[in-house]
Amino acid sequence: MRDKLFIDGTWLAPAKGGSFEVINPATEEVIHHAPAGTQEDIALAVAAARRAFDTGPWPKMSGKERAAILRKISSLILERKEHLARLEVMDNGKPFPEAVWDMEDTAGCFNFYAGLAEEMDAHPEEPIALGDTRFSAKVVQEPIGVAGAIIPWNYPLLMASWKVAPALAAGCTMVLKPSELTPVTALELGAIVEEAGLPAGVLNIVTGLGAEAGKPLSEHPDIDKLAFTGSVPTGAKIMAAAARDIKNVSLELGGKSPFIVFADSDIEKAVEWIMFGIFWNQGQVCSATSRVLVEESLYPALINRLIEEAARIKIGDGLTEGTLLGPLVSKSQYDKVLAAIDRARTDGATVAGGGKRPAGFNTGYFLEPTIITDMAEDSFVWREEIFGPVVCVKSFETEKDAIRLANDSRFGLAAAVMSKDKARTERVARALRAGIVWINCSQPTFTEAPWGGYKQSGIGRELGRWGLQNYLETKQITAFEADEPWGWYLKT
Ligand code: NAD
């Protein structure tokens, strides 16, 4: 594991020499001391990114040239996917097969944006028809400049790729600040981009605490664009910092996503997709379908099957063969989730399944898959993001009722609906106020499609061609083509 920051193409010890502990959440052991970057290191990193943007080759290279390096990064990630996945498990806790899948998605993301970089060469400008034929106009898109990316811990390298890949494809330079809970693979990415031949200063990686490294990055005047994924309170701080210098900002924040299951659904399929929606990655997924709404007649049977199946999920260290549910990422996250379950009990809800440390696990931040029922519509557990393997299940009577309950949230990241009636799933999908709606499934995420939320779940979209737009400015170039004088002041 790497103990230096990656700044201007070199590996540097943090200016203040500090470090912070990296803990394996399955064993509670300290597995590494990561470099604690501070304001001084952020200043160096931003200066390097600024230089690389203003005077370096990267923004001026063709899309094809940038794509070649992005593809190299992609193939190096694939070559090392098992090693990277193992590091990710030790850092984050997730089951190894999930981490391998994440690494494949990460490589796929670099590859996808390589394709979009090439497409930019094919469409360098777009003519615009004007209402005045004396003028011609065209639109060109240019990299926005130096981007600052601040990311969370739930998909450490994958979340990095969602920002780094489109930013590099667009021709931007970047300073990346990973979460202090999972800094390990981001530093590996430094070694990978170095090997892939990315010019110095184009990507700089500064690990450190939110207040010590994230805050100065968000406030740095030489940053043109801030891209953030994390919690709503931190997102609000990032936006406030961006407001001071009118920086472009995109935010991917939390969620409390509903999953509506109509009575004509196949119960086994419903149970499996509910489980995938809330237990995958220990429920630490911004789009986790944490509120399940089941049509009344199906509710009793579905709850029973869900409790039965959830209790069979194999819990363990993510590196143990067969594990399907690992530990939560940290002690503080664990305590937060347990406190939310306790609060649900105090507020009168029923913990119908799980809800405690599994038997035989005395160390590690392990929690049984938890199913909560009978909660009030205004209760904390129903309304707030828990970010753990905790699902709230409620029944509904009518479609109208289901849509009202689903939309009654300050979040609007994702939603899901299940029914055999296609007209109904289409109607409900349109009525749901969320940036992502899944029909007859929950969670599958594709690099090609836009990702982001309505309401307090964020601003802007990542992934797909929308992700590239995050890192591009749009310029109109308008020419006066006529020979005649303009004739406003100088009358002839
Ligand atoms: P967080 O907001 O605590 O931290 C996110 C990042 O912000 C970390 O790198 C942290 O160091 C940094 N940070 C903290 N304080 C800062 C400050 N004052 N200035 C600048 N940076 C600061 O969130 P988290 O606990 O890492 O992640 C969990 C949250 O992220 C959940 O709410 C989840 O819903 C959300 N999330 C959203 C998405 C999405 O795509 N919408 C994806 C993953 C996670």
pLDDT for residue 492 is more than 70: no
Can you tell me which residue has the tokens 């303009």?
486
Determine the average pLDDT of the residues in 203-226: 98
Give the span between the Cα atoms of 134 and 202, in whole angstroms. Answer: 42
Domain with CATH 3.40.605.10 in the chain: 5-253+457-477
In the structure, what pLDDT confidence band is assigned to residue 491 with cuts at 50, 70 and 90? confident
CB of 90 closer than 6 angstroms to any ligand 1 atom:
no
Pocket test for ligand 1, best of 286, 436, 451 (most atoms within 8 A of CB): 286
The CATH architecture that domain 5-253+457-477 belongs to is 3-Layer(aba) Sandwich (3.40)
Kindly give the distance from the C-alpha atom of residue 454 to the centroid of ligand 1, in angstroms, as a whole number.
17
* Tally: H helices and E strands in the chain: 15, 22
pTM above 0.80? yes
Nearest-angstrom CA–CA distance, 131 and 233: 46
- 258-439 CATH fold: Aldehyde Dehydrogenase; Chain A, domain 2 (3.40.309)
C-alpha 312/C-alpha 324 separation (Å) is 10
**If you take atom 26 of ligand 1, which residue's CA is the nearest one?**
152
Per the DSSP assignment, residues forming a β-bridge with 175 are 148, 204
Q: What pLDDT does 310 receive?
A: 98
Q: Among the atoms of ligand 1, which is closest to the Cα of residue 181?
A: 26
Reply yes or no on whether 82 is catalytic: no
pLDDT tens figures, 226-257: 999 999 999 999 999 999 999 999 999 999 99
Nearest CA to ligand 1 atom 40: 252
Using most ligand atoms within 8 A of CB, pick from 153, 176, 218, 231 the residue to mutate for ligand 1.
Answer: 231
Contact 211 CB / ligand 1 (< 6 Å): yes
Q: Which of 118, 212, 252, 295 is catalytic?
A: 252
With beta carbons less than 8 A apart as the criterion, state whether 385 and 409 touch.
Answer: no
Residues of the chain with CATH 3.40.309.10: 258-439
Query: ipTM score of the complex?
Result: 0.93
Distance (Å) from CA 112 to ligand 1 centroid: 25
* Rounded mean pLDDT, 167-173: 98
Contact 146, 42 (CB under 8 A): no
Cβ contacts of residue 47 below 8 Å, gap of 6+? 222
Share of the chain above pLDDT 90, in %: 100
Pocket test for ligand 1, best of 187, 234, 256, 280 (most atoms within 8 A of CB): 234
Asked if 73 and 108 count as a contact pair (C-beta separation under 8 A), the reply is no
